[in-house]
Chain A
């Protein structure tokens, strides 16, 4: 498809360029010029940016089709301007077999929506004991290996897993949480949990685990990406590790830069998240760290949960929130609060996650894949769960007035969403 996108405001986070211009697409790539476009899109009043890259979005297939399907969630992704996403291995069965990974990739490809990059299980069945066939899984299409939210049996397994991954140069994505210190906890261990009578997960459950991970990364040389930071303490540890030039990267979820444990209110199960929403001080540290680059990128951690899973007392509710369609407006809200330029804000959801994923994306340069999001940064968006395309209606932002609506999404040169 030869496309001409005219009159748009081109924002290229890779270069920082932000100005009016036209864009041309041919054979799935951005090109200098197209003489006879098959379609012209008038992007007047819209920002034309690379499509967003989300490092964590649960598609719920295989195994959890009653919560969501590839169709509904990839529809949600492109409606949110997300053109590439990585899905965690905690499906049912978990992504620990090349056959499963292959099937998932093929199915996602056939739907011709966003690009799906599976993250493979680090251990078989995610039980945290025995390593998976990482080389086989990589060949089937896994971009990294992870335990999702499941713990490892002990530090021996962590050490060996990092050594093995380092052997092949594979990236290991880990959530830093000490399983014993976190045991039984459902909320941040602090004043709010004390008032609400909820078992707490102390902040040091994250920092202790992160210290262990960083020490082992240093010892093995493995490439580690730390998922969903939640504490100010973890930010400090990452800062020091980066100063030391350790090959470590990290991300934070959209909920943790905006919300804190006070938002639990009267036991709102939509705020039941992993990791938990922590104190205001933690939230502010995370928000600043994302701005100064200590935290590399922002992701949605999209986790659709059905009503049955959320209409339960807080501690019994399933953790997670829907988020693919809120990634852009919440990123913009964060960027405005930190007084960053649009290009700098979009970097956190385009070229930086692309770098972590190891894919050539997040750029508007000629030759780059034609994955684009055309959006109106000022358009009002009232978060209405029923109106979301995702089957997951579970969001703590219900009723919020945000800004930023995607109007057109292009993947591999094809228009996959128009709204």
Chain B
């Protein structure tokens, strides 16, 4: 069995590719370090010099403004130089291969590659081929993982709920296609959340999902009962009208989060969403803007978490 490519020989994090397979201590180290970065925004000079002189290359093979922007802000707050590369991949024009692109950038003295790719596993391929001092941070690969999102979700939950060991967390929606869901589930089970639920129609839940350590619910009302945390997943419009789901209206009726359904959860439950939201499809506006929602703080925490990840890997 191969060694986990994320950890170097000393067991330290050298790449962040997936939450799965990371020891508890590493996850906690990232969360604790993120905590200390959270104060940087309160100063006059919103920077620390830790990555001064280092180059962070944002390699986005899948377009994204939000994630790329937060990585850019995080890297700049660490005093790193940031270079953004948006590489559109069209099936007609197969340009440079993935590894050739990376090799060319290596030649330009890269230190960290932040990679988003439509194919699961792409960051692993890159991590196998970079130089020893280069680090790969996965910003989302296919359906497989979005570890920094998972971490900022964990950070958010810890901020509001403190102790994972008593939580019931529900993840609602298109788990089949969601890298966010997979990362969060791995993080919650590693940090000891006693019950993680997935709620959705059978067409949107992957085969053998129970093997991830979750309880499956098709009935949202039953699934939300007594939850401490409700995480709503984004439903992409492409899924509608085909053989997976008939329509947005029927989806919202059965799996959309409304105030009425939320009342089945605990009175102090928090509502999370990785964004961007489809109001009226997976979540009602009153809930999204309501007192249970921590969706905006998630975004702020995302910067501190990404600062923590980059400063930890770049130092190993």
Interfacial residues, chain A to chain B (CB-CB below 8 A): 189-191, 193-200, 202, 265-267, 269, 308, 311-316
A308 to B98, alpha carbons, bound, how many Å?
Answer: 10
Q: Which residues of B contact A199 (CB under 8 A)?
A: 143
Instruction: Closest B residue to A192 by CB, please name it.
Output: B208
Q: Which residues of B contact A315 (CB under 8 A)?
A: 119-121, 142
Tell me the smallest distance from the CB of A401 to a CB of chain B, in Å.
16
**A195 in contact with B20 (CB, 8 Å):** yes
A313 to B143, alpha carbons, bound, how many Å?
Answer: 13
Question: What size tier do the contact residues of chain B reach?
Answer: 20 to 34
Q: Which residues of A contact B5 (CB under 8 A)?
A: 266
B168 within 8 A of A: no
* Contacts A189-B207, A265-B2 supplied; 15 other A-B pairs, CB < 8 Å: A191-B207, A194-B206, A194-B209, A195-B20, A196-B120, A197-B142, A197-B179, A266-B5, A266-B121, A267-B120, A267-B121, A267-B124, A311-B97, A313-B122, A313-B141
A193 to B211, alpha carbons, bound, how many Å?
Answer: 11
A315 to B97, alpha carbons, bound, how many Å?
Answer: 14
B77 within 8 A of A: no
| Known contacts A197-B144, A197-B179; A191/B211 CB under 8 A | yes
Interface residues of B in 65-113 (CB under 8 A from A): 97-99
Can you list 5 pairs linking A and B with CB atoms under 8 Å apart?
Answer: A191-B208, A194-B208, A195-B182, A197-B145, A266-B5
**B2 in contact with A266 (CB, 8 Å):** yes
Q: Which residues of A contact B144 (CB under 8 A)?
A: 196-198
A199 to B129, alpha carbons, bound, how many Å?
Answer: 25
Among A196, A202, A269, A315, chain B packs the most CB atoms within 10 A around the CB of A196
**B97 in contact with A197 (CB, 8 Å):** no
Interfacial residues, chain B to chain A (CB-CB below 8 A): 1-2, 4-5, 20, 97-99, 117, 119-122, 124-125, 129, 141-145, 179, 182, 206-209, 211-212
| Known contacts A195-B182, A197-B141, A197-B142; A313/B208 CB under 8 A | no
Instruction: Closest B residue to A262 by CB, please name it.
Output: B1
**A314 in contact with B119 (CB, 8 Å):** yes
Q: Which residues of B contact A269 (CB under 8 A)?
A: 125
Q: Which residues of A contact B121 (CB under 8 A)?
A: 196, 198, 266-267, 313-315
A198 to B97, alpha carbons, bound, how many Å?
Answer: 21
A191 to B210, alpha carbons, bound, how many Å?
Answer: 9
Q: Which of A190, A197, A202 lies in contact with B120, CB distance below 8 A? A: A197
Tell me the smallest distance from the CB of B115 to a CB of chain A, in Å.
11
Tell me the smallest distance from the CB of A279 to a CB of chain B, in Å.
10
Q: Which residues of B contact A194 (CB under 8 A)?
A: 206-209, 211-212
A313 to B144, alpha carbons, bound, how many Å?
Answer: 12
Q: Which residues of B contact A197 (CB under 8 A)?
A: 120, 141-145, 179, 182
**A316 in contact with B119 (CB, 8 Å):** yes
Instruction: Closest B residue to A316 by CB, please name it.
Output: B119
A91 to B1, alpha carbons, bound, how many Å?
Answer: 35
Q: Which residues of A contact B206 (CB under 8 A)?
A: 193-194, 200
Tell me the smallest distance from the CB of B315 to a CB of chain A, in Å.
23
A-B pairs, 8 with minimum CB distance: A197-B144, A267-B121, A197-B143, A313-B119, A191-B208, A313-B122, A197-B120, A194-B206
| Known contacts A265-B2, A266-B5, A267-B125; A314/B120 CB under 8 A | yes
| Known contacts A190-B208, A308-B97; A313/B145 CB under 8 A | no
Q: Which residues of B contact A316 (CB under 8 A)?
A: 119
Q: Which residues of B contact A196 (CB under 8 A)?
A: 120-121, 144
Q: Which residues of A contact B98 (CB under 8 A)?
A: 311-313
Q: Which residues of A contact B209 (CB under 8 A)?
A: 194
Tell me the smallest distance from the CB of A336 to a CB of chain B, in Å.
22
A195 to B121, alpha carbons, bound, how many Å?
Answer: 11
